Each structure stands twice: as C-alpha cells, then as structure tokens.
Structure 1
Amino acid sequence: MPPSDATTLDTLETPALVLDASRLDRNLARLAARMAEQGVALRPHMKTAKSIDVASRAFPNGPGPITVSTLAEAEYFAGHGYRDMTYAVGVSPHMAARAMRLRQAGIDIKVLLDTREQAAILGEAGRAAGVTPSAFIEIDCDGHRGGLLVTGPNLLGVAAALDAAGVTLAGVLTHAGESYALHTPEALEAAAENERAVAVEAAQRLRAAGYECPVVSVGSTPTAHFAKALDGVTEMRAGVYMFFDLVMHGVGVCTTDDLALSVLATVIGKRPEKGWIMVDAGWMALSRDRGTAAQRVDQGYGIVCDLDGRPYPDLIVAHASQEHGTLVIRSGSSQALPDLPVGAKVRIMPNHACATGAQHERYHVVFGPARAIAAEWPRMRGW
C-alpha cells in the first residue's frame, strides 16, 4: 500500500520499522541462486517477515512452498493463495486440530513431531476432520532443541506410530540451531555438513526399514550459506536471510551492508557529561534481544546509522528502557560522540530481525539510499 502520512524518512514519525527493499531483493536472490546451484528446493521460513508483500518478493511468479512458525501465519498465507506449507514447530493437541482444518480447506500443511504421543494425537485429529495428516519427524542434529537422535531407538518407533495412526510420513526435518554460536567459515561448513549428513542418515534408516521418506529438509541461515554440498537433501529452510541482522553479521554470514531492516528513531535528549544521546526507541521498538552479547563483538541493542544507513563509528544503543534508547560510543573506542541535535533522526540496525520486527505492525519501505517511503507493508501477528 502507499504511505499514509509521510513521504520520506525525514518526515516519518518515530519509532518506525524501515525495510530497504533493494537489500531484501539482493538477499533473496543470493540464497535462491545458491540453492539453484545445489539443485535443492528453497522453502523460505516466513517467521521473520510475516508479510505477504515480502513473500511476493521471494515468489514473484506466484505462491510457492513456505515454512511457518505459527498457525496464524499458515492461515494468513493461506488467505493469500499459499497452499504448500510446513508448520515447523512441534504439534500440540489443539494445534493438530487447527492444522487439520487447514487441510480440510485444501491446504497441504505438514506438521512436525518427535513422539509417539504426537503421532496418536495427530491421527485422531485427522480422523475427526476427515483428512489424512502429513508429518515430518524432527531430527536432532546438534542438541540445540527438540528432535530424535538418528541412531536412537525412537526414530523407527515414531515412524511405526505414524503408520498406525494413519498419518503420512512426509520425511525428516532438522535445524542446525547451534550454528548461530559459530563464527568461522570452517566451523560453519562443518555444521552444515553435519546437518546434511544427520538428516540424510535418518532418511536412509527409515527407508531401509520400509518407510517412504520423500523429503529431507534442513535449514538455518548460517548453514544455508556455508553448505559446500547438499547431496541427499531435497529442500532448504531459512528465514532471517531475507533481512539479516547483527547476530548473523557476528556469525559471519553477512556484512552490515546486507542488513535490510532498521528502526528509525529521533534524538530526544543529550547528556554530554555522561557521553549519552537519548532516542525515542527503547526495547518496545528494538526488542529485548541481546543476541550479540555472547559474540566476539557486543553490539548492545543495535548499531546506530545516519538516515542513509551509514553506521556512525562505534556508536551503539548501550541501554534500552521501555521507550528510551541510550546511544554511547562502545567501550574502548577512541571515536568521538557525534554531534546529533535534538530532533535529529538515526537508523538502528537490530540484533535480531525476528524479534525487532515483532514489535511493529508495518514496514516502511525504501529502496537503497533513497529516503522516500515507497510503500507501507503490513505485518501479521499472533499465534
């Protein structure tokens, strides 16, 4: 939609979420090209963007396969013509019933599980809805979260439980979440290969036991960009790659020039004796995420840029209260605090694009260095 009440970053009320569509398009093209070279289908995770307008940039020729993290996302994208979805969160009883209502409506939604109990619950929900459910078995490739060990006894047991419950086995799915803690190309390449090898081994074990396992699904933004080979993998899931963020920068997946998302803020006060500049973007606008604190360079709550997206040297948001952000020169730097008068505007690049995006209802879209607001793209919210 066109902008409603502002035409440029100079006049836009703050705090506001700004999306550089030129960087978005470049990021989308980068991973699409990598997967095309590997011969692997890309199933973008929409949990970061939560926007049909962003999805349309990823799929300019019409709806394609997507991953979602909530059934509200699934319902939202279904309303915009998307039919092929993976709900990549362990299914619960009430979510199983809700997912089956989507299958009743003709949506090919596949769910995720790693227990016999979930298999039984899903089968019951399918029978109640008069549809055949489809599910992935989640595989644990690095101890990050849920899933079954590829060599453990439960993998075949859960497959048998799916068969008994009348649930179609869609395949295996894994996520190398521990890759977010890495920062060297060698470590990231090793994580990507481990993710691939574990998923493929799980599929092979299921097939050897007589189960069809058509899909081998892997994916995290770091491993998607550092995988040297994806033999045996059928699809890649990633989400934050669309925007990138400072955590991904710290991992080594992108540069700050790739970060498509920022929060526009206004200077509302100065404390020169303390070396502080205050802005009107606190954690309600930036989120509480401090994901870079565990990395080699702590970026506070975000790095501070001018209106054209150029970072001020070593200027970060060091503290955030509900509606106040405190800008300081990072510890140990010899840079001088910039002279930003009250009313001046800055853009803050966030630690975690998913978390920062979730604080806002819409994107204010710009293209590259242009300050004109080209469009406003709503974001969906909820579960």
Structure 2
Amino acid sequence: MAATQGTEVEALDTPCLLLDEARVRANVARMRARLASLGVAFRPHLKTAKSREVARLAMGAPAGPAIVSTLREAEYFCEAGLRDVIYGVGIAPDKLARVARIRASGADLAVILDSSEQAEAVAAHAARSGDRLPVLIEVDADGHRSGVAPEDADALVAIGRRLVAGGADLRGVLLHAGDSYALSDPEALAAAAEAERVAAVTAAGILRADGLPCPVVSVGSTPTARFARNLTGVTEVRAGVFMFGDLFQAGVGAVEPEDIALSVLATVIGHQRAKGWIIVDAGWMALSRDRGTARQGLDQGYGVVCDRDGTPYPDLIVADANQEHGIVALRRGSTAALPDLPIGTRLRILPNHACATGAQHGSYHVLDGAGRVAAVWPRINGW
C-alpha cells in the first residue's frame, strides 16, 4: 500500500527503505559537536541522503554549506535553496556548461580538479563566459584515488597559476582520506586523520608561498572526522555516511551499530528448513550488491537481520542474495538457534553500505518513536 502518516510497518509494501529520524538527528548533533570542539566548520556530504528533508537535518542553514557527488544532486538541492555547494568529483570539461547553468540560478557551485588539462578547460570557460568559477585543487591524501601529491609544488603551482590567469576563483584545496575505510584500530584511524591534515596543510602552504590564494582547506571522510584529534590549519571537514551509518562503518569503528538509522523492511516468503534458510523478498536489488564487510573482521553477508523493531537476531544475516530473494541464515560457525519466523513475518535488514542500499529505492519511510510511518521523504538518483 501507499504509505501515509501513521501507517503501521506491517502494512507497508516490501521491500522498502526505513529511516529512523531520531537516530539521524542524534548522529548529526554528535558530529557537529565534535567538529565544533576541534574548531572547524562542517560541510555535510549529501551523496548518501539524496533527499532535501535529510539535507535540512544535516545542514546548519537552508543555503548550506554542503557537498554533492553528482550534478543531478546539485540541481536538485539548489532548486530547494542550497547556495554554498561543492561538486566533489573531478570536473569533466563537457560538464562545465551544466555547471554554468546551475550557477546562473544563484548557487555558488564550486568544482574540483587535479590536472593541468582540467585547469586549462576551466580557465578557458572562465575567460569565455566571464564567470569566475570557484575551484578547489584535489590533493591526494593517501594514494587512495585522485589528486595531486601534496608535496608536488610544480603541479600545484602550475594548476593554481593557470586558474588565476584565466579568471577562475582559486578557493583552496580538498582532500579525501579514502584509505581510512580499510582501518579499524582507533590509533591507526587517528594517524590517518593526522596524515590527511598534514597533506592538506602542506599543499595549502605551497600555494600560499607562491602568492596564490588558498582560503579553504577542506578534508573529510566519516572515519577521519570521527577520529581526528587535531585539525590545525584545516578550515572545514566533510562527511556524509555517518548520518545514517551502516555495517561497514560500524566495522571500521566510525559508528556504533545502535546508531544505524537506515534499514530495509522485508517479508519472510519461504523456508528451506533442511538448509537452515529463511527466504525473504529483499534480494540484491533491494539491499545492493555491496559486500564491503567481507574484507573486515566480521563478514555481515548482505546485511544483519533484525526484528520489526530493529533489534538484531543473534548471528542472523542475509547470507546470500539473488535479484529478488534474500537467503537468511545463521552466520557460519554460530551456536545460536535459528529463530522461528513464519511466512509473513516482517524483518528489518541493516545495510552494508548506506549509499548503495539507498540508491536502490525512491523514498524513505520515516519512522516515529512508536515505529509507525511519520512521513515519506522522496530521494533522487541519477547523474
């Protein structure tokens, strides 16, 4: 059925996405307080939420700041009043016209880049259009993905000079400590956060020493935001998945399992008792193919299985998944008893990766304190 305010969970069509608003609010408040204690601004990443209602909970004000991962997100949020926003994926030259259209709507949309070729395209665009397009140079914090090496003065300065000469607005540097996702020890995570900070400050210092502007020093990932101890020289921190949490981040230690706000509601549709299987109507189309926890100390399969109130059953996971079927079973080696879950039983499944699971759905069914649907919040997908 179509959910309305006050709808009971048992009445929802499954599979569907559930969101605990109280947990989202608590997660955001905790992150804001932590970063305030370290003296830095917070720029929430909206790539996980992809929802205006969640964005309002995350941002300090309707105008932002925020960061997005697609231009579709930028359009969607800017239509609702977001003004201070970064498009956090390296700019492709053919996307500059679309960036210009978003900026023409009144949004201060900045882009990132890490090469002289991109800088040349942005400079040419700025010179041609007269739009002082804001740019942050992406710096490689840890060899995880993209970015200029933080000590590569020649590359940093060449990019910065070309942007300024072409009339672009050089805003600063941006880093993402993606390798922190492979860690779990608090000391190692704190060290990763410090390495990210040092790389950011080093790159910013190179630009400033050459007389180039660098007002923004932006770092961020959920793990390093959680474990950073010193952010001297940093102006802002970005994080996004912490708002919902997921099993992967719980495995890292960046969130607690009880803080996970997102789950997939599923229904028991069958049993294979000789195999110890319970079959549910949520397969990888509802849960996603993400198996990130398989690389961690505790493999959570395709998700942890909870009762309809969100309490996990001991050692019960989605052990395997087909397109529309989830195979629920006890974790290998478990001595727990398989629960008796008759056909029709409603279950909640905690996701491995909130971003990937969310992307399978078109809306959040937002729960109130009594476990009823308080609202339905649309979300978007696409690029």
Give yes or no for the alignment of 1:145 onto 2:128: no
Report the counterpart of residue 351 of structure 1 in structure 2: 352
Q: Which residues of 2 match residues 190-339 of structure 1 at below 5 A? A: 190-339=191-340
| Residues 116 and 159 in structure 2, CA contact (< 8 A), matched pair in contact too | yes
1:112 counterpart = 2:112: yes
Corresponding letter in the other structure for 1:90:
G
Residues 100-130 of structure 1, C-alpha deviation per residue, up to 9 Å, x if partnerless?
2222222101100001110111122334443
- Partners of 2:357 and 2:248 lie apart in 1 by 12
Deviation (angstroms), 1:8: 1.1
Residues of 2 paired with 1:311 and 1:341: CA distance? 17
Q: What amino acid sits opposite 1:289 in the alignment?
A: D
Q: Does 2:343 match 1:342?
A: yes
Distance 1:271 1:380 in 2: 37
Runs of 4+ residues over 4 Å off in structure 1: none
After superposition, the C-alpha distances for 1:242-295 in whole angstroms (9 at most, x for unaligned) are: 001000000011221100000000000001100100000001000000010100
| SS in structure 2 of the partner of residue 162 of structure 1 | helix
Asked if 1:133 corresponds to 2:137, the answer is no
What is the match of residue 54 of structure 1?
Answer: 54
Give CA-to-partner distance per residue, 1:115-156, whole Å, 9 cap, x none. 111011112233444311110000001000000001123111
1:98 corresponding residue in structure 2? 98
Deviation at 1:19, TM superposition (A): 0.2
Taking the aligned partners of 2:60 and 2:149, their CA distance within structure 1 comes to 38
* Unmatched tracts of structure 1, length 5 or more: none
Match of 1:122 in 2: 122
Which stretch of the first structure deviates more once superposed, 121-130 or 235-244? 121-130
List runs of 5+ in structure 2 lacking aligned partners.
Answer: none
Contact 1:68 1:85 (C-alpha < 8 Å) held by counterparts = yes
| TM-score of the pair, normalised by structure 2 | 0.97
Match of 2:11, SS?
coil
Contact 1:44 1:238 in 2 (8 A): yes
Contact 1:97 1:126 in 2 (8 A): no
1:70–1:87 CA contact under 8 A, matched in 2? yes
Q: Say which SS state the counterpart of residue 374 (structure 1) adopts.
A: strand
Deviation sequence 1:309-362 (CA, Å, 0-9, x none): 000000000111100000010001101111000000100000000000000000
Cα distance, 1:165 vs structure 2: 2.2
- How many residues matched? 381
Q: What amino acid is the match of 1:59?
A: M
Distance 1:170 1:61 in 2: 21
TM-score when scaled to structure 1? Answer: 0.97
Show the counterpart of 2:85.
85
Change (3 A) 1:12 1:6: farther
User: Cα deviations across residues 147-205 of structure 1 (Å, max 9, x unaligned)?
Assistant: 00011231111112212322111100000000000001000000000101110111011
Contact 1:285 1:323 (8 Å CA) reproduced: yes
Q: Are 1:192 and 1:226, in contact at CA under 8 Å, matched by a contact in 2?
A: yes
